[in-house]
């Protein structure tokens, strides 16, 4: 005998879709979706409020964990973090964009392989530190960069972080993708230990490092070919005056 399935609780999904399409406040939309789902499932009002309250208490520190680092980084940028990073890297005459990004790629991939994936990232590392340092290294040799080249440089900074994280974390045995591949192989009748899956990620990570490092080295040569002799080198004081 088949039992009927109550599909009315799925109204909460419809509420979320309509709310996001109409661009209402996300917190209000989620709260209304929870209330709609609870009433559709015939939950008593006191139990519904208890469930919502319990969920709120368990996750009330989550926004603080996410927003606090961004607020700190924004405060540092407000007080000249990007400018100091540019001026610091400009002191090294041998520093180039390619060398800087290759060094960061190595560190990012190595730390991700150890499970330290939060040591880098676009908001906390690329935007406030890596991109200004790469831009400062380029401007110290070639002067102010044309906007198309500057955009390519910033894209390479973001790509370097992505490549290092993506291929580095595949070596970490406790990474979720390793567990997913292990489960999939078990379902196909292949019992492969997670440590073996992680070890076979090492050749791929090495190849990714070599290929992306070659791209970064090629970008250095492109900068020399396109900008050599175009403008005099920029000193740290000149860069500070231009930023002001």
Instruction: Note the pLDDT tens digit of each residue in 33-57.
Output: 888 888 888 888 888 888 777 776 6
CA distance 112 to 167: 8
Per the CB < 8 A criterion, the answer to whether 134 and 97 are in contact is yes
Looking up tokens 């368990």, which residue turns up? Answer: 58
Query: Which pLDDT value is given to residue 103?
Result: 92
Examine the pLDDT at 66 and tell me if it is beyond 60.
no
Kindly state the average pLDDT of the residues 210-222: 94
Average pLDDT score over the chain = 79
Examine the pLDDT at 228 and tell me if it is beyond 90.
no
Kindly state the average pLDDT of the residues 113-138: 85
Task: Please indicate whether residue 226 or residue 82 has the higher confidence score (pLDDT).
Answer: 226
Kindly state the average pLDDT of the residues 160-172: 91
């Amino acid at each position: 005998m088949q039992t009927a399935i109550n599909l009315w609780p799925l109204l909460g999904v419809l509420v979320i879709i309509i709310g996001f399409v109409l661009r209402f406040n996300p917190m209000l939309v989620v709260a209304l979706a929870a209330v709609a789902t609870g009433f559709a499932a015939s939950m008593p009002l006191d139990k519904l409020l208890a469930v919502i309250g319990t969920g709120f208490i368990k996750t009330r520190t989550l926004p603080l964990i996410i927003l606090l680092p961004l607020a700190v980084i924004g405060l540092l940028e407000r007080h000249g973090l990007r400018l100091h990073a540019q001026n610091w890297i400009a002191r090294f005459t041998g520093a180039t964009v390619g060398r800087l990004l290759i060094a960061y790629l190595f560190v990012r991939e190595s730390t991700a392989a150890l499970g330290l994936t939060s040591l880098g990232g676009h908001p906390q590392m690329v935007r406030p530190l890596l991109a200004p340092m790469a831009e400062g290294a380029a401007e110290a040799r070639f002067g102010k960069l044309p906007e198309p080249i500057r955009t390519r440089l910033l894209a390479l900074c973001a790509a370097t972080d992505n490549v290092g994280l993506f291929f580095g974390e595949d070596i970490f045995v406790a990474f979720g993708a390793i567990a997913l591949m292990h489960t999939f192989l078990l379902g196909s009748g292949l019992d492969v230990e997670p440590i073996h899956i992680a070890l076979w990620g090492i050749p791929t990570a090495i190849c990714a490092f070599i290929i992306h490092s070659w791209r970064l080295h090629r970008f250095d040569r492109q900068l020399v070919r396109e900008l050599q002799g175009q403008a005099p080198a920029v000193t740290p004081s000149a860069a500070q005056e231009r930023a002001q």
